[in-house]
Amino acid sequence: MTTGPGAAPRGIVIVGGGMAGLALALLLRRAGQPQVTLVEASPLAEGEALDTPSFDARSTALSAGSLDLLSHLGLDDALLARAAPILSVDVSRRSRLGQTRMRAEEEGLPRLGAVVENRWLGQVLLEAARRDEAIQLLASATVERVQRLTGGYAVSLTQDGRATTLTCALLVAADGARSRVRDALGISARHHDTGHDALVANVALAQRLPAAAGVAWERFLDTGPLALLPLPEARMALVWTGPRAFIDELAALQDAPLLERLLDAFGEDRLGRFARLGERQRYPLVLTQSCGQYVPHAVVVGNAAHSLHPVAGQGFNLTLRDLASLATTLGETETPGDVAMLRRYAEGRAADQALIKQASRWVPELFRVRFGPFAHTRQLGLVALDILPGLRSGFAARAMGVANGG
C-alpha cells in the first residue's frame, strides 16, 4: 500500500507468504482490519501453490485448539478432507518401563488434532487469501530496503524487475528463521545448532491395522525422538531425529534396510511391517529465538520469532496461538503499530511461549539421559501419566492448545 507525500502510513504489510504469513493475513481480516498486503519472494502463477520452504515434504500435526481456530476462518472442511484425525497419542520409551496414551474421548473431544501435509495446508491457506479481495498478494517480490518513517515503515521492493515502495503503519516479519526483515528492524536473534537433524518421509503400511487408525506415536530412543503420525491412505508421516552422524548413517541406507531399522526401533507389534518409503528429506535442528518480538510499528512472528524442536509437534500450533492473539489485540484499530498494543500482545504471549519452548528443548534431552537414577525418574513420569488421568489431561490440554492461558 502506498500513500501520498506527507501522509501518515496506514495499514499492515506482512513480509513472508508461508503458513504463518498467510494465516496472519486471514486472522487480521477476520478481526476487522480493512486491508492487508502480503509480500512473498517466491513466484506465484494463478491457480498454483507458492513454492516456499513452508510448503515442503513435511506434515503438520494440528492440535485441537488449532483446528478450532482454523474452523473460525472457515477452513476446517477443506483441511480435514485431506487430513488424518488424531484420536490418541501414544508415548513410549524403547526397552524401558512406562508408556502412556492420551485419548480424545477422555478429553471430551471428537479428536485431539489432525495431521495434514504442509503442501495441502499451505494450499488451503493460500486459496482463502486469494478469495479475499482485501488481501493483496505480491509474489516474486524481494525486499531491498526497510526504512523507518514517522508513524510506520517504508518497504522498498523489486517485483518482476520493477521497483515499488510500500508504506505501512505496521510491518510484520514472517520471513523465516533467517529473517532479513527482522535484521533490518535491528532485532537480533540467537541460533542454537543442536547438532541433530530430522529425517522426514512418508511411510506406507503393509496392511491396514485397527491399531494404526488415528494414533500418533512418539517413541523415545537413546538417539532421540521418533514420531509416526497418521496420514490418509494407510500412510504414516515419519519424523526421525538424532545426532547428525546418526542421521547420516540412516540417510545412506537404501529403502529396504532403512525400513528394517525403523521396524527394529519402533517394533512390529503396533503397526505391523512397513511396505514402502516415500521421498526423504532432512532438516538441521537449529533452534531460533528472537531477542525481541516487537519495536514500534513492527512485530516478528512465526519462525522469525521462535523455532522449536519438532518433539510433540508444537511449533506451528504455538505460532497460530501467537497470530490469533496478535490479530485479536489489534482488532479494528487504525493504528496497528501502536507500541502499547504490541507490548500488550508480547506480554500476553510470554508465558505460553516460554513453557512450550522449554518443554520442546528439554524433553528430548531428558529422554537421552542414561544414568540410572535419572532414567528411572523419566520412566516414572510415563507411568504416572498412564496411572493418573488428571495429570495426563493437563499435559494433553497444553499440547492441544486448549489449556487456560494457551
Amino acid (1-letter code) at residue 127: E
pLDDT for position 402: 44
- Rounded-to-integer distance, Cα 406 and Cα 398, Å: 7
Cell numbers at residue 149, please?
Answer: 518513517
Q: What does DSSP say about strands 281-290 and 83-86: parallel, antiparallel, or unpaired?
A: unpaired
pLDDT at 356: 76
Q: Which three cell numbers stand for residue 85?
A: 484425525
Question: How much is the pLDDT for 378?
Answer: 37
Q: Taking every pair of C-alpha atoms in the chain, what is the biggest distance, in angstroms? A: 70
Task: Give the pLDDT score at 287.
Answer: 87
Q: At what angle do helices 372-387 and 389-400 cross, to 10 degrees?
A: 90
**Beta strand 59-63 with 113-117: parallel, antiparallel or unpaired?**
antiparallel
For residue 77, the surrounding DSSP H or E stretch is: helix 76-80
- Would you list the DSSP string of 144-181? EEEEEETTEEEEEEEETTEEEEEEESEEEE-S-TT-HH
Superfamily of domain 12-57+119-191+286-362: FAD/NAD(P)-binding domain (3.50.50.60)
Residue from 226, 237, 316 nearest 57 by CA: 237
| Alpha-carbon span 261 to 282, nearest angstrom | 17
CA distance 406 to 404: 5
Secondary structure class of 66 (helix, strand, coil): helix
Q: Which long-range contacts (CB under 8 A, 24 or more apart) does 330-334 make?
A: 330/28, 330/31, 330/33, 330/170, 331/31, 331/32, 332/31, 332/32, 332/33, 334/10, 334/169
Residues 44 and 55 sit within 8 Å (Cβ to Cβ): no
Phi/psi region, residue 310 (left: phi>0; alpha: psi -120 to 50; beta: rest), is: alpha
DSSP 313: G
Contact 398, 318 (CB under 8 A): no
Task: Supply the angle between the helices 315-330 and 19-31 in degrees, to the nearest 10.
Answer: 30
Distance CA 218, CA 230 (A): 12
Alpha-carbon separation of residue 266 from 140, 220, 251, 262, 273 (angstroms): 43, 9, 17, 6, 10
Q: How would you write the pLDDT of the chain (406 residues) with one tens digit per residue?
A: 555 445 789 999 999 999 999 999 999 999 999 999 999 998 865 555 555 555 556 889 898 889 999 999 999 999 999 999 989 888 777 655 455 777 888 778 788 889 999 889 999 999 999 999 999 999 999 999 999 999 999 999 999 889 999 999 999 999 999 999 999 999 999 998 989 999 999 999 888 766 567 888 888 888 888 889 999 888 899 999 999 999 999 999 999 999 999 999 988 777 888 999 999 999 998 889 999 999 999 999 999 999 877 655 578 888 999 999 999 999 999 999 999 999 999 999 998 888 777 766 655 554 444 444 433 333 333 333 333 444 344 444 544 444 444 3
Residue 12 has which C-alpha cell? 499492515
CA distance 138 to 154: 16
- The pLDDT of residue 405 is 40
Give residue 368's pLDDT: 47
Nearest to 317 by CA among 18, 62, 121, 86: 62
Within 174-223, strands assigned E span: 189-205, 215-221
* Residue 231 DSSP SS3: strand
Q: C-alpha angle with apex 70: 68 to 76, nearest 5 degrees? A: 90
Q: What are the Cα distances from residue 289, in Å, to 20, 235, 353, 365, 366?
A: 16, 33, 11, 18, 21
Q: How many CB atoms lie within 10 A of CB 337?
A: 25
Q: Which three cell numbers stand for residue 387?
A: 496411572
Q: Which of 374-378's residues contact partners 24+ apart within 8 Å by CB, and which partners?
A: 375/96, 378/93, 378/98
Rg (CA), the chain: 22
